[in-house]
Structure 1
């Protein structure tokens, strides 16, 4: 038996917020459609209470805002 685990790739500087175009730090996958939304930290907090119950995945990298390591670029 083979088990495959799918993980979301790390967000890069090329990933942009769907609301304002700033760098995205949160990826949301909607349970109903499988659609993906990207948000900056500010807009993720603004929609969290509405979208989190509808999400199958809430991938939050806002902790990287305080990291001193450079962000990956694809």
Structure 2
């Protein structure tokens, strides 16, 4: 039970980490708007394009998906 509490705590902390302009897509180097926290503890960052392109596979391996792509349309 303690392990589950630790996972929930770390997931909550991840949710509150804002993506910045310094965060870059692991695939192409564009600004990242999606953070994937993997079940094994790793992390991947993707631009909106590559997150959509790999969405099905990412959902299979993700512990948590932080999707900030709404920021792309909020500047209009």
The alignment's TM-score, normalised by the length of structure 2, stands at: 0.78
Q: Which runs of 5+ in 2 are unaligned?
A: 1-8
Q: Which of the residues 53, 60, 70 maps onto 1:63?
A: 70
Q: Which has the higher helix share?
A: 2
Shift of 1:67: 1.6
**Residue 61 of structure 2 aligns with which residue?**
54
Q: Which runs of 5+ in 1 are unaligned?
A: 69-74
Higher relative contact order (CA 8 A, sep 6+): 1
**Residue 26 of structure 1 aligns with which residue?**
34
The alignment's TM-score, normalised by the length of structure 1, stands at: 0.80
Aligned residues: 65
RMSD, aligned CA: 1.6
